[in-house]
Amino acid sequence: MDACCSFSSTLILQCLLLTQPQQPLTNHFNKKMLSLRVGPSTSFHSRRFHTGALERRWRLGRDCFLSFSHRKGTGLGVRSVNSEMAPFTAAEEETLPEGLQPELMPKHVAVIMDGNGRWAKNKGLQPWDGHRAGVEALREIVELCGKWGIQVLTVFAFSTDNWIRPKIEIDFLLNLFERTLKSELQTLAKNNVRISIIGDSSKLPKSLLKVINEVEQVTKNNTRLQLIVAVGYSGKYDVLQACRGIAQRVKDGEIEVEEIDERLIEQELETNCTEFPYPDLLIRTSGELRVSNFLLWQLAYTELFFAQELWPDFGRSGLIEALMSFQQRQRRFGGRKS
């Protein structure tokens, strides 16, 4: 869940340079397309890039700046049909990797996608490079889950605890989420993927709420894989809103206090959107050994797997390793094997 650290004016100016690298900086200021204040100590250092890295850096800078210009109304006139992320390929059924047994596959996998910021920092890139790479990693995992028969994938995209971060960072992340939903919708729908969004939506932008509603409506009858994205979510928030819902029902005379049980609480949790609310396997990347306020009630008997790889590096091989580990465990749920 690493997110970008505070963005400096230097970073935004680099974005501007990357949106149209063939034009000198003075052209932008002469045309008064954007006004920036840069401190006198600000300096730019040339770096050497191989072709692929340079192209990726330009594309990431362009998309980042377009995100801000789209939200703030700063028209640069450089939006391109190619600015949207390419959809993943159609998820065809495939034989499971060697060693994995279909009868032991988890029905529900949850993922804490941690390490985007550190991945970018380690490569000398900007924070949003890490988030873009994180989206690519998620696309691959969604495709693999669809191919291998996993029925529910829940990913932790944005925590309620993340609202304390700088506003400019939050705006970027939510705009990236909105753009990704738009660009992936048709592909996910064609691949029979149902999308559900959970979390406190009260602080989300109206434009994002509109897209979320559209995505959930378009994909609500899809059955191959359910992708649950937790945005503005935390496990404590989930339990709290469930308690409030139950208390209101008691107040309204719908139920008696004595009727409150685990089944009733489960019905009020945000994961009531799925047939399989309890994850069989939780994967957390980046080497951190904690659940970070994610699905606290639902993880009661979940098997935990902590991967050393940062999220953008966690791909097919990482998922196979996690699934192999899961299939080697004995799940007793408090009982004892005879």
- pLDDT tens figures, 194-203: 999 999 999 9
Q: What is the mean pLDDT of residues 61-65?
A: 50
Selection from 38-42, 56-60, 116-120 with the highest mean pLDDT? 116-120
Tell me the percentage of the chain whose pLDDT exceeds 90: 66
pLDDT at 23: 40
pLDDT at 51: 44
Q: Copy the structure tokens of residue 332.
A: 């007793």
Residue 176 has pLDDT above 80, yes or no: yes
Neighbours of 135 (CB within 10 A): 20
pLDDT at 93: 63
Neighbours of 208 (CB within 10 A): 18
Q: How far apart, in Å, do the first and last CA atoms of the chain sit?
A: 41
What's the pLDDT band for 224 if we cut at 50, 70, 90? very high
pLDDT at 148: 97
Q: Copy the structure tokens of residue 299.
A: 């993880």
Nearest to 173 by CA among 122, 231, 226: 231
From 2, 63, 114, 129, the catalytic residue: 114
pLDDT at 333: 84
Residue 31 has pLDDT above 80, yes or no: no
Q: Please give the sequence-ordered ranges of beta strands (E in DSSP) within the chain, or none if there are none.
A: 108-112, 152-159, 193-198, 225-233, 281-284, 303-306
- Per-residue pLDDT tens over the stretch 122-137: 999 988 889 999 999 9
Neighbours of 182 (CB within 10 A): 14
pLDDT at 1: 53
Q: Copy the structure tokens of residue 257.
A: 């206090």
Q: Copy the structure tokens of residue 143.
A: 């495709």
Tell me the percentage of the chain whose pLDDT exceeds 70: 72
Rg (CA), the chain: 22
- Per-residue pLDDT tens over the stretch 245-263: 999 999 999 999 999 999 9
Q: Copy the structure tokens of residue 304.
A: 């935990």
Q: Where are the alpha helices (DSSP H) in 86-126?
A: 116-122
**Annotation says 114 is catalytic:** yes
- Per-residue pLDDT tens over the stretch 153-163: 999 999 999 99
Higher pLDDT, 230 or 132: 230
Residue 18 has pLDDT above 80, yes or no: no
What's the pLDDT band for 338 if we cut at 50, 70, 90? low
Residue 149 has pLDDT above 50, yes or no: yes
Collect all residues with Cβ–Cβ distance below 8 Å to 302 and sequence separation of at least 6.
110, 278, 279, 280, 281, 282, 295
Q: Copy the structure tokens of residue 54.
A: 């340079």
Q: Copy the structure tokens of residue 298.
A: 């639902």
- Per-residue pLDDT tens over the stretch 287-335: 999 999 999 999 999 999 999 999 999 999 999 999 999 999 998 888 8
Residue 21 has pLDDT above 50, yes or no: no
